[in-house]
Copies of this chain bind each other. A is one copy, B any other.
Amino acid sequence: MHTLTIVGVGLIGGSIGLAAKNRRLFRRIRGVGRDASSLERARAKGAIDEIHLNLNDALPDSDVVVFCTPVGRIAEQILDAAARCAPHTLLTDAGSTKGTIVRAVEDRLPDGAWFVGSHPLAGSEKRGPEFADANLFANRWTVVTRTSRTCEPALERALQFWQGLGSRVTVMDPEEHDRALAITSHLPHLLASTLAGVLPEPLMKLAATGFRDTTRIAAGDAALWTAIFQHNRDALLSALELFQHHLDDYRAGLENQDWPGVERLLTQAKKVRDALGS
């Protein structure tokens, strides 16, 4: 593969660029964005070779175009690109939700255009190319989506692309992805934010490692996460219901002073957390 185009060169886009450079996956890496100074910092860091403020200028000869923009913009940008790019250009993305994006794209995708939804499960509450990391995807999982309309050679190229960046890959239906990520990512964000929101200012100095770990992701960008919640509302509400039932079990244990019952719940949780590893 010769040319990679990264649309949105922040933490994720920048990390894709650095990982592709380090592993020599492409001869040329183009960065596309609206903020020239941010793109300049990404180039200075070595994440991209070329700067483009206009997506159209960056499409010719691209083998892969990866969209690392906020979830609310991805579908439109992919459809714009699909109408203009050469056949067999793989269009993919790094959005945290998949159902809404994949449906919106596939409903209007021109015949023969190659689109495959992706979501690398890597990231941070930080933003910007300054925090890009060539090893961000190493040994992490990337979900690549398949639907009845997915073109198999496009899927193969998407798998190769993410594996080339060091990621492990798994193929899922977009809705299945969203139900899973509602539990593993969107619900934790909701809870971390809720917990951060109840901390009264005078108690800040008493918030030690446990509070800090548990709320770390609440530092994520509020607009980005609102869009994620909006895309995945139904699955997030279901995940929240599951959590609420379990929380009610703890509350009942405390109210009834059922300490063996509380210890059983904590023991089961510890087993899960120990199995996850650090």
Pair A269/B194 contact, Cβ less than 8 Å: yes
Chain B residues closer than 8 Å to A217, beta-carbon distance:
210, 213-214
Is A190 an interface residue, CB under 8 A from the partner? yes
Considering only residues 162-216 of chain A, those with a C-beta below 8 Å from chain B are: 170, 180-181, 183-185, 187-200, 203-216
Considering only residues 198-244 of chain A, those with a C-beta below 8 Å from chain B are: 198-200, 203-223, 225-226, 229-230, 233, 236-237, 239-240, 242-244
Chain B residues closer than 8 Å to A180, beta-carbon distance:
203, 206
Is A36 an interface residue, CB under 8 A from the partner? no
Whole-angstrom distance between the alpha carbons of A91 and B221 in the complex?
A: 47
Pair B240/A251 contact, Cβ less than 8 Å: yes
Main secondary structure of the interface of A (DSSP, over half): helix
29 residue pairs bridging A and B, Cβ less than 8 Å apart: A123-B208, A141-B208, A180-B203, A181-B206, A183-B198, A183-B199, A185-B208, A188-B195, A188-B214, A190-B247, A192-B210, A192-B214, A192-B273, A194-B243, A194-B246, A195-B243, A196-B273, A197-B269, A204-B275, A204-B276, A211-B276, A212-B276, A212-B278, A213-B213, A218-B272, A222-B263, A226-B263, A229-B254, A244-B247
